[in-house]
């Protein structure tokens, strides 16, 4: 999984007045949970651009001004209800030997047969919640839809891996091909394909 580094300053004062002063200075107050101690720090709002405003997921290295670094993942984020400025971010410290829970982006690969015949691909999930070691989690989960006909569904079980556990019921649908007004009857399409194949295999007539 991709990782990015955020240079930050550890906070000594955590009261409302100190927090307001940080925000007025363009800093975002943050907290890291999950370790032996809770760590309060702050960093410029622009430092979080590639972490927050992206569909990708990352692990984060928090490089504190006291020389220490902490590996973490984003847990929660608060935005201003009017300006959408980042008000506060919570992180969870991660360890090499402890599994973490994350939502991994999902994307399809392949060219669905049902879509070629006029069906419409519908997504039920854009992100899949999984649990595993950070070093084993992928940047994206891919699902092959090449064989999906109209009415067929892709389930989370089709995305299973030994590297992580999917935290959705097995019958959870990730995406499906729905019919449309322009859809072709796939039974007829099968017959045409088989007929063309038989014609190609038929021996040439003798002169």
Residue ranges, CATH 2.40.240.10, the chain: 3-93
The reported pLDDT for the residue numbered 64 is 95
Cα distances (angstroms) measured from residue 37 to each of 42, 73, 88, 93, 96:
16, 16, 19, 10, 18
Q: Please tell me the distance from the alpha carbon of residue 15 to that of residue 10, in angstroms, as a whole number.
A: 14
Mean pLDDT by 10 residues, the chain (207 residues): 92 84 92 92 94 90 94 94 94 93 94 91 96 93 94 96 96 93 61 50 50
Domain 100-194 class, CATH top level: mainly beta
Nearest of 139, 128, 3 to residue 63 by alpha carbon: 3
Please state the pTM of the whole predicted model: 0.77
Q: In the structure encoding, which two tokens stand for residue 150, read together?
A: 């109209």
Q: Are 145 and 113 in contact (CB under 8 A)?
A: no
Q: Give me the CATH topology for the region 3-93.
A: Ribosomal Protein L25; Chain P (2.40.240)
DSSP per position, 94-143: --TTS-EEEEEEEEEES--HHHHTT-EEEES-SEEEEEE-GGG--S-EEE
Residue ranges, CATH 2.170.120.20, the chain: 100-194
């Amino acid at each position: 999984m991709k990782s990015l580094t955020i240079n930050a300053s550890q906070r000594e004062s955590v009261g409302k007045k100190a927090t307001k002063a940080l925000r007025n200075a363009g800093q975002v107050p943050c907290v890291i949970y999950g370790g032996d101690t809770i760590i309060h720090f702050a960093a410029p709002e622009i430092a979080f651009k590639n972490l927050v405003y992206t569909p990708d997921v990352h692990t984060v290295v928090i490089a504190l001004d006291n020389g220490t670094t902490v590996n973490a993942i984003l847990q929660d984020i608060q935005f201003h209800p009017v300006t959408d400025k980042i008000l506060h971010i919570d992180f969870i410290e991660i360890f090499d030997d402890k599994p973490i829970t994350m939502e991994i982006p999902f994307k399809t690969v392949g060219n669905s047969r049902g879509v070629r015949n006029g069906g419409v691909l519908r997504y039920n999930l854009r992100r899949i919640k999984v649990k595993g070691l950070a070093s084993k989690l992928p940047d994206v989960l891919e699902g092959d839809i090449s064989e999906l006909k109209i009415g067929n569904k892709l389930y989370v079980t089709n995305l299973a891996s030994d590297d992580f556990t999917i935290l959705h019921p097995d019958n959870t649908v990730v995406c499906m091909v729905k019919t449309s007004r322009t859809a072709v009857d796939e039974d007829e399409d099968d017959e045409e394909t088989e007929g063309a194949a038989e014609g190609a295999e038929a021996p040439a007539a003798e002169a």
